[in-house]
Chain A
Amino acid sequence: MNGTIVVTGAARGIGRAIAEKMASTGPLTVIGVDVAPELALSESITPVQVDLTSAEGPRVVREAVQASGAPLVGLVNNAGITRDARLVNMADDDFAAVLEVNLGAAFRLSTELAPLMSDGGSVVNIASRAYLGNFGQFNYSMSKGGVVGMTRAMALSLAPHVRVNAVAPGLISSEMSMAIPEEIREKMVESIPLDRMGTPDEIANTAWWLLTPLSSYLTGEVIVVGGGRSLV
């Protein structure tokens, strides 16, 4: 592969693993986007610190892509947050924040960058197994279901030139999952057939496959990477 790839939410967890994986696998320019001011990635990754929910966010990323001087061959919409609560107690602000970051930013950035995507390019949207339903996550699962819907619509609108797929991670060892109380997390792990949490690298491997021509006949699909949790 040759060209530029954009990864959002690149400072930590799954996004960081994807950015590092892509930077290590070929003559690619990897642009790592994150709101975190402490963004510290490998030297081979070009950092862009911006709030993707801001009015100028998508434009700033587009300008970084254009400044890279290479064709845009990949986009990974990964940035995400949680603000969990039962529906009866969910605050308007917590609903809006999750929708804006997990879905609005991905939608607006995809709209901004789609015209730049080169023939044969690939978009990977990081959804979540929670799109199948998850207690206490009305806002999060709605946002990730939205990501699935966006994936299907983009797959149709960008075909045949660009492929668009989604990865739906299950319980992955990251800052986000570490925010879950340990007792609950241990119970969650007990219900995973593969008997452990996944790693960010395991999601990065799937994203890498979707970004490369190895998955050249796949578009509009959701791949659940969850250790079999969706079966039990």
Chain B
Amino acid sequence: MSGHVHWAKEVRDDWPAVLAELTSAFHVSRRAAQDEESFVYVVRQDDLLGRRGSGNAIIACGLLSAARTAALEGARKGWTANVVAYDDASDRSGVEEWARRLLEAGDVNGELIRVGSGHIGKTLA
């Protein structure tokens, strides 16, 4: 499998910890972009909705927006950036499978894949 998968680290509502995680994702992403390789961020659906504190929400939504911007840049070079969001009912192997599919697809870019049904009826991210 070519490309990178970055699982969002869980944090408390503490700015240095939030910035450290976002910086870590930035470094992974910049390296991938420089190598012209695709990447996928993995976040929790609860965090996209702000249900587990500001710190985790900032990271999840920040990564989603960053992926959309990176996707625009990758589209010109042939690599992609996407996000997989999972819920409490998701198993890790299923989430990893979706990340793998996105890395290999090549024609899905800047997209949010929400695994499971927990997102239905909730706000669009």
Contact = CB atoms under 8 A, between A and B. Distances in A.
Interface of A: 86-88, 90, 92, 95-96, 99-100, 103-104, 107-108, 110-111, 130-139, 141-157, 220-221
B70 to A, nearest CB: 6
A142 B30 contact: no
A149 B50 contact: yes
A156 B50 contact: yes
Contacts of B54: 107, 110-111, 149-150, 153-154, 157
B123 interface: yes
A209 B26 CA distance: 36
B69 A88 contact: no
B18 A137 contact: no
Contacts of A148: 61, 65
Contacts, number: 133
Interface residues of B, number: 38
Interface of B: 13, 15, 18-19, 22-23, 26, 29-30, 33-34, 47-54, 56-66, 68-73, 110, 123
A137 B69 contact: yes
A146 B69 contact: no
Nearest to A156: B50
A103 B62 contact: yes
A166 to B, nearest CB: 10
Contacts of B15: 104, 107-108
B19 A87 contact: no
A137 B66 CA distance: 8
B50 to A, nearest CB: 3
Contacts of B123: 152, 220-221
Contact of A141 (B52, B53, B68): B68
23 contacts: A87-B29, A88-B30, A88-B33, A92-B23, A96-B19, A100-B19, A107-B54, A111-B54, A131-B61, A132-B65, A135-B69, A135-B72, A135-B73, A137-B69, A141-B69, A142-B26, A145-B61, A145-B64, A146-B61, A147-B58, A149-B50, A152-B57, A154-B50
A201 to B, nearest CB: 26
Contacts of A139: 26
Contacts of B34: 88
Q: Pick from A132, A139, A148 the residue with the most CB of B within 10 Å.
A: A148
A107 B47 CA distance: 16
A87 B73 contact: yes
A145 B30 contact: no
Contacts of A220: 50, 123
Contacts of A90: 26, 30
Given A87-B30, A141-B66, A157-B54, A149 B73 contact: no
Given A111-B54, A142-B26, A146-B61, 5 more contacts: A103-B62, A108-B15, A138-B29, A144-B65, A145-B61
A149 B30 contact: no
